[in-house]
Amino acid sequence: MHKLDGAYERINGARENLDGLKPIVNDFAQVVAKGVSLDYKEGFRDIKGKRVKVPIGTASALINQPSPPKLSRLVGYVVQDLRTALEYLVYELACFDAKANVDMTQFVIADSEEEFRKNKWHLRGLTGEHIAAFERLQPYNGHQWTGMIRDLSNPDKHRHLLALKSPVTIRIDPRNTQEILAGRPVDVGSYATTTIAFSDGTPIIEGLEHLTKMTAETLDNFKPEFK
């Protein structure tokens, strides 16, 4: 048994919920794509030496549809597991350094050096070296991923970030050119690329996978300190 086994189990929980989240995001993306209307303009291009009338350009739309409640719930589970894994890390390392139980520890996440100093009391029990290591993981030191975990685990900011965006890009190619020019209906969803993203533009799945990876790497980096 290792002191960080509980933290790693939270990483496992985050990954399991991510696996459950992926098909929900994909299904929602398809719903969004099916609701897209196509805008285009006619033009001419030289194709194999012939001047041919074709639709020109790429049509884009920002579609706002309510996301499935389960999507928001699973995002919350993933983020909470990651935040808890970081809290376990601080607690276990503080107890290890102090050779005693230490209460009210917290993985401090601050936007400035001043804010970090104000909350440094949550890191009591840790050696100066370990406090400095946690300070290097702050958003103001370039680690934006810790700030995103904090914001997504904050109820007020969580609601704001989960005002999801779903920008849609429609690819026009020879397979649907003639149908469009003839005025016939086209299954636009077949040609649409949809990204379900947080309100800051971060794609949900890629963003959460990055947060999970960075949290796991942080545990790995501190694991040798328990010796």
pLDDT of residue 182: 53
Helices (H), the chain: 5-34, 69-98, 113-118, 128-135, 144-153, 155-161, 174-181, 204-222
pLDDT of residue 168: 56
CA 11, CA 55: separation in Å to the nearest integer? 48
As a whole number of angstroms, the longest Cα–Cα distance in the chain is 82
Residue 78 belongs to some domain of the structure? yes
Residue 133 belongs to some domain of the structure? no
pTM for the structure as a whole:
0.80
What is the per-residue burial (b if ≥16 Cβ within 10 Å, else e) of 46-83? eeeeeeeebbeeebebebeeebeeebeebbbbbbbbbb
CA 126, CA 195: separation in Å to the nearest integer? 42
pLDDT of residue 29: 82
Residue 112 belongs to some domain of the structure? no
Residue 127 belongs to some domain of the structure? no
Residue 37 belongs to some domain of the structure? yes
User: Strand 50-56 vs strand 41-47: parallel, antiparallel, or unpaired?
Assistant: antiparallel
Residue 79 belongs to some domain of the structure? yes
Domain that holds residue 17: 5-101+148-225
Residue 121 belongs to some domain of the structure? no
pLDDT of residue 60: 53
CA 207, CA 12: separation in Å to the nearest integer? 17
Q: For the chain, how many structural domains are there in total?
A: 1
**Phi, psi at 203, each rounded to 5°:** -55, 135
Residue 109 belongs to some domain of the structure? no
pLDDT of residue 37: 60
Where the chain has pLDDT below 70, the residues are 34-48, 52-65, 155-193
pLDDT of residue 218: 99
